[in-house]
Structure formats: C-alpha cells, structure tokens
Homo-oligomer: A and B are copies of this chain.
Amino acid sequence: MARWEPNARERLVLAALDLFTEQGYDNTTVTEIAERAGLTKTTFFRHFPDKREVLFAGQEVHSRLLADGAAAAPDSATPLEAVAAALDALTASFTAEQREFGPRLAAVIAGHPELQERAAFKHAALAVALTSALGKRGVPDLTASVAADLGVRAFDRAFDRWIEPSSQQAFTELAHEELQALRTAALALG
C-alpha cells in the first residue's frame, strides 16, 4: 500500500463518525475505522492514539488558532476585541464538511459520559490557551480568564447554531453575535 495517503486524517474522522453513527461508539474498533477509510491500522495510529481522540482531533490546532488570532489583534484592541479576533481565526478554519458532520459529532458525544468529559476538557484547554494569549497582550490574569471563558462559550454556542441544517449565517458572524450577547449578559450582572 502506498505510504502517501491523501487526506488520511480527514478520511479517518469521517469513517469514524460514520461507524459511530451506524453501529455505536462502543461497538466500533480502530481496525474497522481504518478499513472503512481504506487505510491501515498503522496509519490510524500515526494520526490518533485511540478512537476517542478522532472526535477531538482539533484541540491543538484550535488552541493555536485562538492564540494566534488573539496575538494578531491590533495593539489597541480591548480584551474582548482580541477574543473576537481569536474567534475569527478559529471559525474561519472550519469547512462546509465539518458543518455537515457537526450534528453527528454532537450526537455521539451527547451519548457518552466519557466523551462529554473529554469535551469539557477540550473546552477548558481552549480557555487556557486563550487566557494565556490574552496574558501575553498584557491583559491581567483574572480579566483574561473571564474574557477567555466568554470566548470559548461563544464559540460553543455559535457552533451549535451553525450546524443546524436551517442555519443561514456564517460561523464567524454567529460567533460575534454570541460573544456580543455574552458580553451584554456579563455587564448586566452589575
């Protein structure tokens, strides 16, 4: 078999989601995922440590996109403007294909406490990455962590809206709307 496997990572993610949806997460093996993707188990393990991580493949890339996006905001940007820039960078990386498999991904995670734990950890890891990036901009620690929490929550809420089949809005626009709504809610705490 050729050592060059185009889009191996994406093929494995799609194959895994198909199988998890068809026959259940617990009943699906790494061997089956690799086979469905037309790849070997060895190739699978070059990309993911186990079947669970296929579902959270984006964590490192997403953390980096958030951090780079926040870092690239103008010096004059407020903490929340830097968060908005981070969300721009992250949401711009999502493809139409990711939108299409979003509901299946959400359904698999919702069905397994183990996956919900992993999702909570991803959420926390993204918040840590964004907090750290804001800190490098000189934002005080506590402000940075509150702003980052709002940003990651805005991302999650925007993602849920974006993957709805009836949704017409761009992911980036939804993220801005959610961040603005969360900001208003935070300020209303008074």
Instruction: Identify the A interface with B (CB < 8 A).
Output: 78-80, 113, 116-118, 120-121, 123-124, 140, 142-143, 145-147, 149-150, 153, 181-190
Residues on B with beta carbons closer than 8 Å to the beta carbon of A181: 142
The secondary-structure label for the interface of chain A is helix
- The residue of chain B having its C-beta at the shortest distance from the C-beta of A124 within the complex is B120
State the number of copies, please: 2
CB contact between A188 and one of B123, B143, B182 (< 8 Å): that residue: B143
- The residue of chain B having its C-beta at the shortest distance from the C-beta of A190 within the complex is B78
CB contact between A146 and one of B140, B143, B182 (< 8 Å): that residue: B182
Determine whether the beta carbon of A186 is less than 8 Å from that of B146.
Answer: yes
**A179 vs chain B, min Cβ distance (A):** 11
**A78 vs chain B, min Cβ distance (A):** 7
Residues on B with beta carbons closer than 8 Å to the beta carbon of A145: 153, 185
Determine whether the beta carbon of B146 is less than 8 Å from that of A185.
Answer: yes
In the assembled complex, the Cα of A190 lies from the Cα of B117 at a distance in Å of 32
CB contact between A117 and one of B120, B149, B182, B185 (< 8 Å): that residue: B120
Residues on B with beta carbons closer than 8 Å to the beta carbon of A78: 189-190
Determine whether the beta carbon of A79 is less than 8 Å from that of B189.
Answer: yes
CB contact between A121 and one of B116, B153, B182 (< 8 Å): that residue: B116
In the assembled complex, the Cα of A117 lies from the Cα of B149 at a distance in Å of 17
In the assembled complex, the Cα of A178 lies from the Cα of B42 at a distance in Å of 49
